[in-house]
Amino acid sequence: MQEFFAALWLLKSPDKIREVFQQCFTEEMKHMKHLIPFMCRLLNEENPSLMSCLIPTEELKETSEWFFKEMIDTFYPKADDCELYVDPLFLCQCLYESQSSEACIYFLDKLDFYLNLSGENLDPYSCCAVAYVVTQSKKKKIRLNLQDATVSEQGMRQFFGCLQNVQWSDPLPQQLWTVVLLTEGQTEYKTLL
């Protein structure tokens, strides 16, 4: 609840947003990162009719025009600046909340259409967010790395809908089979207990 109201306050004071982005990288203020998905949801193009009661539509539109690019550039900087690295899964979740096709394409372009989720623990919500981002790329196939990723059975179902946008090259088929078999094995194991 706090995050929602803090995000709302920030959208009413958009000049403070860039400062909050930078504060997320400090140890004492890293919890501020949790405000960002709320801001993304509030800037969702579906919400303006509700949000216009609190913030004028023009102000929301002005903020939205720079917000997503700034967020992606801040939280996924150039490779040589690894000190500010934030995992791509967090950005996928923010982009899912925003429902902004344009921001997804900007993010995928920044990644050179290579989404590395190796070693990630992907719950159904994370899978839904990743699937949403991947489906936004209509013109270029995404290279997806799921090596050593843990995906729940429900999460795996989310991926099936976006696989037409994925470039099928080694080792992805093997990674998917491994994930499916491990998921199936976990399900069978749980039913035996």
pLDDT band at 47 (very low <50, low <70, confident <90, very high): low
> What pLDDT shows up at residue 189?
35
Backbone angles phi, psi at 116, to 5 degrees: -100, 110
The whole-model pTM stands at 0.83
pLDDT, mean of residues 85-107: 92
For the chain, the domains span 1-108, 112-193
Share of the chain above pLDDT 90, in %: 46
- Alpha carbon 151 to chain centroid, angstroms: 16
Output b/e per residue, 82-109; b: 16+ Cβ within 10 A. eeeebebbbbbbbbbbbbbbebbbbbbe
